[in-house]
Structure 1
Amino acid sequence: MSLLNESAELVTSSDESGLLHVHDLPHLYQKPTAAALLDTLELLSFVPSSFSIPEDASRVRVAESGVPGYLTSVISSTLSWIEDESTKESVWSAASARLSERSGRNAMPAMTRSFNIEKDVLIQLHEPTLTEDNLGLKTWTSSLLLSQRLHEVRRLIPGNIDRVLELGAGTGLVGISAACVWKTHVTLTDLPEIIPNLQKNLDLNGEVVREHNGNVVSRALDWSDETDAPQSDQVKFMVILAADPIYSADHPRMLVDTVRRWIRFQSDARFIVELPLRDRYDQERQELRERLLESGFMLVVEGTDVGYDDWQGRDGRPAEVTCWWSVWKPDVP
């Protein structure tokens, strides 16, 4: 009997959270079939997160306690009772993949995620394997929350939105969403090393952007390069967006200076930002607020959102993340 058939019976032995325990899985001393092991390893796979609590109640979930040890035992076993060598390799490979998925996002392979922004806006994003702690290659919770807020904040932007700039676009979720939701032209920017994957995602979502009468382009923009600036107000932007833009003590200053260079400094322009409330960055968030006020911006509205990230809690569900969002405008008559 395969684990997929057995799992219906095993659900009855789960705890109040609905989770199975590692002792419910087929163990090596029982000499389970290769099919049962592969079914088990599939059960233990991480589905690429879209930063929401999984809605598939039928999916059997296993509590994480003891799972890494279980996977290690499979990898280190000779699987002597399985005769076919290629089948053994498949089991070892699957167990190694499951262990890598539990070693942090940096150890996970390339993936493509799907994000529902609105009823008819589904965005696909490619994320390469992360190397050298390159944070711009990952989609962050704040990007999804800001994308889903775009429809609501539209009422806070007077007049037409003809040109939008995204700073630190990363995988491009916010900028692509803005192009679709606001039906406008969006320029997505990031550091040069991020642009190839960003452009790949723009190409991947080209059809959905066109269907919603939007337009997207990418370009490199280094916040530290003060010479890279528009030459006139005619090429500046009505709205600037930024999601999770601060993970360095230098970023509040660099971000505000960049916004000041690129925004049309008039009363109907808007700077919209969302970032997670990370404990280590309280000072940087406060500095961002102070620098915006000192640079001639006025707070229009602010609030908090709750979302979920890749990292899992003890119950095996995505970890909860609280984010702060705010809308700013130039303080001019």
Structure 2
Amino acid sequence: MARSVDNKAGDVRHWPSAEDSLHVLDLPQLWQKPSADEMMEVLRDLRQAPDGFQDSGEVAAQEGSIQEAGIPAYLTSIIASKLVWIDDEDARESIWELASLRLSERSGRTAMPAMTRTFDIAEGLAIQLHEPSLVGDNLGLKTWASSLLLSKQLQRLSKYLPDTTSVLELGAGTGLVGVSAACLWHTSVVLTDLPEIVPNLEHNLGLNRETISSWRGNATAMPLDWSDLSSAPTKDEEKYMIVIAADPIYSPDHPPMLVDTIARWLKETGDARVVIELPRRFHYTGERAHLEDLMRQAKFEIVVQGVESGYDDWKDESGHQAVVECEYSIWRRNDKC
């Protein structure tokens, strides 16, 4: 259905229906002195925030009401304008704030503001995650495609895992994998990450507390620095039957630290398992190979492995969501190696 908005002059501006595609020139232009209400409505319509990981072509086909070409320049012109025809100072501030927000959404994931979004993992299981604005190199504050892919695999992979489980997640980030495991495996999961990541991790556990409980799971969070040996368990009963990690490698130092941490925290039993998901990033080819070598040196062997593809929430050179190829593997101890 087409919608119409009264502008300041009293004219009625008719908008194309949802099936049509608006051009930037169809939007209220500053020379027309549109009302504050009209500008606020348009700026709300221009919201562009990732609410999932899928190809942008699919998103465009679903939403497709405003062409993106020219929108950044349009938003910049609003921010630069004094909006002198709008008498309400608070309204002007709100317009500038919304226009700045819409512009930041188009400047890449690192420029986006804090957001809370929902991830559909399995039938009846939707997980809410809060992602603060990315500051510095705090990559754990973002949900990565590898975490979503692994979360959706957990139900299928459970046939390779022990029935009665205690689970430790390393580098939990925003908590998607750990929360998914608690729900889909109906078990207790301890999600860990660096101390600066844990407050948001605990916040996300709070957002999903009722969901986790309804799936007969339990999840807690605690800080765990892989380089700190003081917190390592000294008794086997303090260790875990499953250790899980998604996208845990960002430097050459990480493979040995990860393997050492796994070896310290995984139970000393043949049916204990390690679940790892790694994106196949070109610049980390050596680190992935090093990790596999170190796992074998630590007397682990692969039970099952595979490759899968999905989308991340940043765009490639063609303007589509970037395709991410990931490899997953499940390992077990093998003292005969």
- TM-score relative to the length of structure 2: 0.88
> 1:6 is matched with which residue: 15, 20, 26?
15
What amino acid does structure 2 have at the position aligned with 1:177? S
Shift of 1:315: 6.5
1:127-142 equivalences in 2 (<5 Å)? 127-142=131-146
- Counterpart-to-counterpart distance in 1, 2:50 and 2:158: 30
Partner residue of 1:109? 113
Q: Deviations over 1:260-305 (max 9, x none)?
A: 1111233322111112222221111111111111211112222222
Partner residue of 2:84? 80
Higher mean displacement: 304-313 or 141-150: 304-313
**Residue aligned with 1:202, SS:** helix
> 2:214 is matched with which residue: 211, 216, 223?
211
Q: Deviations over 1:227-282 (max 9, x none)?
A: 32111222211111101111111011111111111112333221111122222211
- Counterpart-to-counterpart distance in 2, 1:258 and 1:218: 17
- Counterpart-to-counterpart distance in 2, 1:135 and 1:149: 23
- Counterpart-to-counterpart distance in 2, 1:256 and 1:199: 25
The RMSD of aligned alpha carbons is: 2.4
* 1:281 counterpart = 2:254: no
Partner residue of 1:34? 36
- Counterpart-to-counterpart distance in 2, 1:57 and 1:104: 21
Contact 1:309 1:318 in 2 (8 A): yes
Shift of 1:210: 1.1
Shift of 1:63: 4.4
Shift of 1:33: 3.7
Partner residue of 2:176? 173
What amino acid does structure 2 have at the position aligned with 1:155? K
Shift of 1:313: 4.3
Shift of 1:150: 0.2
1:1-333 equivalences in 2 (<5 Å)? 1-2=4-5, 6-8=15-17, 12=20, 14=21, 21-53=23-55, 57-157=61-161, 159-313=162-316, 317-332=320-335
CA 1:230/1:256 → structure 2, altered by over 3 Å: closer, same or farther? same
Count how many residue pairs are aligned between Structure 1 and Structure 2: 325
Contact 1:7 1:60 in 2 (8 A): no
Shift of 1:178: 0.5
Shift of 1:5: 5.2
Q: Deviations over 1:145-182 (max 9, x none)?
A: 1111000100111x423201100011111111101100
**Residue aligned with 1:2, SS:** strand
Q: Where does the alignment leave 5 or more consecutive residues of structure 1 unmatched? A: 15-19
What amino acid does structure 1 have at the position aligned with 2:224? L
Contact 1:43 1:61 in 2 (8 A): no
**Residue aligned with 1:106, SS:** helix
- TM-score relative to the length of structure 1: 0.89
Show structure 1 runs of 4+ deviating over 6 A: none
**Residue aligned with 2:107, SS:** coil
**Residue aligned with 2:212, SS:** helix
Contact 1:64 1:316 in 2 (8 A): no
**Residue aligned with 1:8, SS:** coil
What amino acid does structure 2 have at the position aligned with 1:88? R
Contact 2:170 2:243 in 1 (8 A): yes
CA 1:56/1:73 → structure 2, altered by over 3 Å: closer, same or farther? closer
Shift of 1:197: 1.2
- Counterpart-to-counterpart distance in 2, 1:73 and 1:313: 27
- Counterpart-to-counterpart distance in 1, 2:34 and 2:72: 19
Contact 2:54 2:313 in 1 (8 A): no
Q: Where does the alignment leave 5 or more consecutive residues of structure 2 unmatched? A: 7-12
CA 1:252/1:332 → structure 2, altered by over 3 Å: closer, same or farther? same
Identical aligned pairs, as a percentage? 50
**Residue aligned with 1:174, SS:** helix
**Residue aligned with 1:305, SS:** strand
Higher mean displacement: 264-273 or 314-323: 314-323
Partner residue of 1:17? none
Contact 2:241 2:273 in 1 (8 A): yes
Shift of 1:80: 3.2
What amino acid does structure 2 have at the position aligned with 1:283? G
- Counterpart-to-counterpart distance in 1, 2:65 and 2:309: 23
CA 1:129/1:232 → structure 2, altered by over 3 Å: closer, same or farther? same
**Residue aligned with 2:259, SS:** helix
